[in-house]
Amino acid sequence: MTTNTKGNPYYINYGFQEGLGPSSHSPAVRTGLPVYVPQNINTQNTSAPWYPPASPALPDRRPSCSLITLIVFGCFLLALVGFILWFFLFYSTEGCTDPGGCMEVSRHCAEAGCFRLYGQDFVLQMFSPKSKSWRSMCAEGWTDAHGRSACRQIGYEEDTYVSSGQTASKNGDSSGYVTLRPESRPGDLAQKDLVDSASCPADAVVTLRCIDCGLRRGPATSRIVGGQVARRGAWPWQVSLHLESQHTCGGSIITPLWLVTAAHCIDGYSNPSDWTVYAGYLNLDDMTSNSQKVALIISHNYNSVTDENDIALMKLKKPLPMSDVVRPVCLPNVGLTFTAPRSCWISGWGSTENQGSSSKVLMEAQVNLIDSETCNSPAVYSGAITKSMICAGMLEGGVDACQGDSGGPLVTEYASLWWLVGDTSWGIGCALRNKPGVYGNVTFFLSWIYEQMQNN
Task: Just list the catalytic residues.
Answer: 264, 310, 406
**CA 427 centroid distance within chain:** 18
**CA 393 centroid distance within chain:** 18
Using CA atoms, how far apart are residues 324 and 167, in angstroms rounded to an integer?
29
> Which phi and psi (to 5°) does residue 258 adopt?
-120, 140
Q: Are 182 and 141 in contact (CB under 8 A)?
A: yes
DSSP letters, 390-438, are EEEE-TT-S-B--TT-TT-EEEEEETTEEEEEEEEEE-SSSSBTTB-EE
Q: Residue 45: CB partners within 8 Å, gap ≥ 6?
A: none
**CA 394 centroid distance within chain:** 22
Using CA atoms, how far apart are residues 390 and 401, in angstroms rounded to an integer?
14
Q: Are strands 343-348 and 363-370 parallel, antiparallel or unpaired?
A: antiparallel
Amino acid identity of residue 454, one-letter, is Q
Strands (E), 129-220: 133-137, 163-168, 177-180, 194-197, 204-209
Q: Return the bridge partners of 432, or none.
A: 435
With H, G, I as helix, E, B as strand and everything else as coil, classify residue 4: coil
- From the list 37, 211, 203, the residue with the least C-alpha distance to 117 is 211
Q: Return the bridge partners of 17, or none.
A: none
- The dihedral over CA atoms of 310, 362, 353, 19, expressed in degrees to the nearest 10, equals -50
> Which phi and psi (to 5°) does residue 145 adopt?
-60, -40
Using CA atoms, how far apart are residues 427 and 270, in angstroms rounded to an integer?
23
Q: Are 418 and 329 in contact (CB under 8 A)?
A: yes
Using CA atoms, how far apart are residues 430 and 398, in angstroms rounded to an integer?
8
- From the list 325, 314, 217, 247, the residue with the least C-alpha distance to 281 is 325
Cα dihedral 21, 27, 28, 29 sign: negative
Query: Is 78 buried (19+), middle (13-18) or exposed (0-12) by CB count in 10 A?
Result: exposed
